[in-house]
């Protein structure tokens, strides 16, 4: 009976010591924001080659998830840039906000324009012609933000690149449904405080 009691006390002490060591580490690790493009609908994408300009209508659903258990995130500025062949053709400033730990925020920017100037080289023009034949376009959303984690007063610049493929004239309904696109996140001017 004494061996059983001694074993229980030892196991309990080991669990408590483990929690005392591991719990603060788990709670203080900061994880990157996880942005993604959940849906997109492209109803018009027309290129006029000389001078190069595009006319378009695009709606997207952008998801930002905070995977941290303890840290909230202040988004002091947030901008979504829309690109074709690496060239920006539109942008939207999204509202600033505070994101609580383990929470998700959704944005639904809708953009459109007529005869918007865009600089495409020969390769870009050739890719447009090829993609226009299939009706499937490779676009990209770049999210640019200034953020800070709640217990931290330091500002960090965040850049997320979100390439996605969208079928002209379709979105989340129909046979060519949109496939969710994950974003690559980087901190271009990161310090040890980010």
pLDDT tens digits along 145-188:
999 887 776 788 999 999 999 999 854 444 457 899 999 999 88
- Report the pLDDT value the prediction gives residue 3, as an integer from 0 to 100: 63
- Report the pLDDT value the prediction gives residue 71, as an integer from 0 to 100: 86
CATH class name, domain 31-186? mainly beta
pLDDT tens digits along 105-152:
999 999 999 988 898 888 989 999 999 999 999 999 999 999 988 777
Residue 44: pLDDT over 90? yes
Helix (H) or strand (E) holding 129: helix 122-134
Residue 16: pLDDT over 70? no
Q: How far apart are CA 166 and CA 23, in angstroms?
A: 43
- Rounded to whole angstroms, what are the CA distances from 71 to 27, 34, 67, 88, 91? 8, 14, 9, 33, 29
Q: Which pLDDT band holds residue 20 (cuts at 50, 70, 90)?
A: low
pLDDT tens digits along 68-108:
888 899 999 999 999 999 999 999 999 999 999 999 999 99
Q: How many residues does the chain have?
A: 194
Give the HSE-up count for residue 8: Cα atoms under 13 Å, Cβ half-sphere.
Answer: 5
Domain ranges of the chain: 1-30, 31-186
Q: Is the dihedral of CA 84, 87, 89, 95 positive or negative?
A: positive
Residue 65: pLDDT over 80? yes
Q: What share of the chain is helix, strand, coil (3-state, %, to 5)?
A: 20, 50, 30
Which tokens sit at 137? 């376009």
Are the C-beta atoms of 71 and 150 separated by less than 8 Å? yes
Are the C-beta atoms of 184 and 160 separated by less than 8 Å? yes
């Amino acid at each position: 009976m004494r061996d059983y009691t001694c074993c229980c006390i030892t196991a309990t002490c080991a669990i408590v010591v483990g929690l005392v060591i591991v719990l603060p580490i788990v709670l203080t690790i900061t994880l990157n924001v996880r942005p993604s493009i959940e849906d997109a609908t492209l109803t018009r994408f027309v290129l006029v080659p000389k001078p190069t300009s595009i006319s378009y209508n695009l709606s997207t659903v952008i998801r930002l998830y905070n995977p941290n258990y303890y840290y909230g995130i202040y988004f002091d500025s947030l901008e979504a840039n829309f690109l074709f062949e690496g060239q920006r053709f539109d942008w939207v400033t999204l509202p600033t906000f505070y994101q609580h730990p383990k929470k998700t925020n959704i944005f639904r920017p809708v953009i459109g324009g007529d005869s918007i100037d865009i600089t495409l080289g020969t390769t870009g023009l050739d890719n447009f012609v090829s993609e226009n034949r299939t009706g499937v376009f490779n676009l990209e959303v770049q999210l640019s933000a200034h953020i800070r984690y709640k217990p931290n007063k330091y500002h960090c610049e965040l850049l997320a690149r979100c390439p996605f493929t969208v079928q002209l004239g379709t979105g989340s309904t129909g046979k060519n449904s949109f496939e969710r696109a994950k974003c690559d996140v980087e901190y271009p001017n990161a310090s040890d405080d980010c």
